[in-house]
Structure 1
Amino acid sequence: MASDTLDPGLHCLRAGYTQRVPPEYFVDADDDGVTWQPDVYPLVLDLAREHGRTAVIDLGCGRAGKLAALGEQDPGLELVGVDYGPNIAWCRENLPRGRWVEADLETAAALPISPGTAARSVVVCSDVLEHLVDPRPAMRLICRLLDQGAACAVVSTPARDLRAGTAHPGPPRNPSHVREWAQDEFRAFLGGFPVAVERAGLTRSDDRDGGLTTQLVVLGPAAPGAAAGARGTEARAR
């Protein structure tokens, strides 16, 4: 990659990075015995219990196997899965427990989820942002849910610097990924939104090899004084 400059027009990827547009639609139908990001949803349940929350809102839930597993562990947990197309249709047909909301995370400005449900919730958006041609609307939905009282949002995405190297010019190997952020790029991307990074680190990509190659952040609402500046940064990146 020729440049080390982070480009706001590329969602803070390095200048010269090639995104995949359009990506393949990700059909969450693989049953290869591998659990991807096995530690993300257990953390979500831990955070819900820690904050006394009784709902989990899963943005980009796919076929919601991990979300449904949380419901099995905690029968009192309210489950809300958000996705579109074949994935959400499958959830509605096959998962009797849970509320399944159809929404395109690249275009939706709001979700049909009540402020009361948001205020009882922890949000998760696990390995979703890299699938979106424009990830900013999904981030704005996360911000909106935090503004409505969600305790926090758990977000994960691949770490390009640890998988392919920071200098990898793109597009990603996975045909359903538009981009993969290096860790410094993703921090810069998140910095354009009115959120506070409460925790940032790495988690296992899968339960087969166990490599710590997935970024994991816990986001909370920004302090009032920081929100205006973050919104201004995000607006300039549009």
Structure 2
Amino acid sequence: MIRVDFDPDLHYLRHGYTPRVPPEYFVDIDNGITWQPDVYPEVLVLAQQHDRRVIIDLGCGRAGKLVALAAQHPHLDLVGIDFGPNIEWCRANLPVGRWLDADLEAATTLPLDTEVIARSVVVCSDVLEHLIDPRPAMRLICWLLDRGAACAVVSTPARDKRAGTENLGPPANPSHVREWAQDEFRAFVESFPAAIERFGLTRSDDSGGGMTTQLVVLGPCERQRAG
């Protein structure tokens, strides 16, 4: 077996990877393409399986896909987390949902009652690659799982399926700091106290981008120990 040297100081990317610092702020504007079109439907399926009615969206952007779920399923309670122009837009334009301003590179908790968290599933879709330090966001996911969230769905580009594993950055997208290959991202996720319940690929977009996005379902550590 070939040993791969991941660099914990680079969030388990291969040694020599060059991130983009700082990235451009990502303004979530509709350009006619739906990115990761199957992620939020998967979140809905998991919410139904676990009998949860709250969806907590970390890095919600302008929350188009999140609000679309509620339009079809009005019983859902939405909690969107973001900062800057995106969350300001949500507060000014969306008639449903609770919109919290939080920096995912700094927040250690969220102002949510335990009862709300205990009725939730969490989604963090196409977010971690935008963060200079993605560890606080992962810790926040673990904090939510520890307090009763049923599971968390995390998605991020798969560099090995797009630019190739040998591409050591920076990413082509100017708002991305880094993009993990699948083995790198698994090593990164495994460094946190959560159980990996599923690790695979999903569609990048609805315009022919292919299966080039990683989708991970995380559960509480207790399920890992029970398994």
Q: TM-score, normalised by structure 1?
A: 0.91
1:146 match: 145
1:13 match: 13
Amino acid at match of 1:207: D
Matches within 5 A, 1:109-188: 109-188=108-187
2:214 match: 215
Q: Does 1:100 align with 2:96?
A: no
Q: Does 1:28 align with 2:15?
A: no
Amino acid at match of 1:64: A
Partners of 1:224 and 1:25 lie apart in 2 by: 36
Partners of 2:95 and 2:224 lie apart in 1 by: 43
Amino acid at match of 1:219: L
1:58 match: 57
Change (3 A) 1:94 1:171: same
Residue by residue, what CA displacement relative to the aligned partner does 1:58-105 show, whole Å, maximum 9, x if unpaired?
000000000100111110100000000000000000002000000000
Matches within 5 A, 1:77-92: 77-92=76-91
- Residues 152 and 217, structure 2, Cα contact 8 Å, conserved in 1: yes
1:206 match: 205
Amino acid at match of 1:81: G
Residue by residue, what CA displacement relative to the aligned partner does 1:138-194 show, whole Å, maximum 9, x if unpaired?
001000100111010000000000100001010000000000000000000001100
**Alpha-carbon shift at residue 32 of structure 1 (Å):** 2.2
Identity %: 72
Partners of 2:222 and 2:84 lie apart in 1 by: 36
**Which SS does the other structure have where 1:223 is aligned?**
helix
- How much is the aligned-residue C-alpha RMSD, in angstroms? 1.3
Amino acid at match of 1:10: L
**Alpha-carbon shift at residue 223 of structure 1 (Å):** 3.0
Change (3 A) 1:220 1:10: same
Matches within 5 A, 1:190-205: 190-205=189-204
- Residues 4 and 15, structure 1, Cα contact 8 Å, conserved in 2: no
Residues paired across the two proteins, number: 223
- In structure 2, stretches of 5+ residues that fail to align are none
Partners of 2:168 and 2:180 lie apart in 1 by: 11
- Residues 195 and 223, structure 2, Cα contact 8 Å, conserved in 1: no
- Residues 159 and 215, structure 1, Cα contact 8 Å, conserved in 2: yes
Partners of 1:39 and 1:196 lie apart in 2 by: 22
**Alpha-carbon shift at residue 210 of structure 1 (Å):** 4.3
Partners of 2:19 and 2:111 lie apart in 1 by: 31
- Residues 159 and 213, structure 1, Cα contact 8 Å, conserved in 2: yes
Partners of 1:78 and 1:223 lie apart in 2 by: 26
Partners of 2:176 and 2:111 lie apart in 1 by: 27
